Structure 1
């Protein structure tokens, strides 16, 4: 946690940024949401690849393609259940001790 004078300075900077350029401040505030969306898109594409490997392995008779597709699918399923079970919040400096 930041010392009080640094927290105060950070709040002042945030307020000035909000007053001077509200669009940029909104983009900066959404940074964590954009990162989470990008991460989910990557996981979905990886899952599609794993399913395609499983299907290709079954129809071509290639056991290794099927095996690695199944391993990838299992790892991705585990990532989904652990990563997105609870929403993650990005801590904002200087906000921890304030009452809501």
Structure 2
């Protein structure tokens, strides 16, 4: 494992130290503790995890709205009447 000596990883340059998972005798020298969010998760959740989920949903929403706009643009309605234009508009 690589562990940051500068605390929580940020945007500034950091110093990383390699720590082997096991000692030469096979004993664990590093224990990775985190709270899994999903089944099968093998690493801790990033600070931006919740934002990334929302961004994924936003992308889906935008695609859906675009598809809806395209479908709506394909339809047109016409009104046929024996009335003149002004009378028809007043009626509507």
Q: Same fold (TM over 0.5)?
A: no
Ranked by relative contact order (alpha carbons within 8 Å, sequence separation 6 or more), the top structure is: 1
Query: Quick check: which has more Rg, 1 or 2?
Result: 2
Q: TM-score, normalised by structure 1?
A: 0.34
Structure number with higher helix proportion: 1
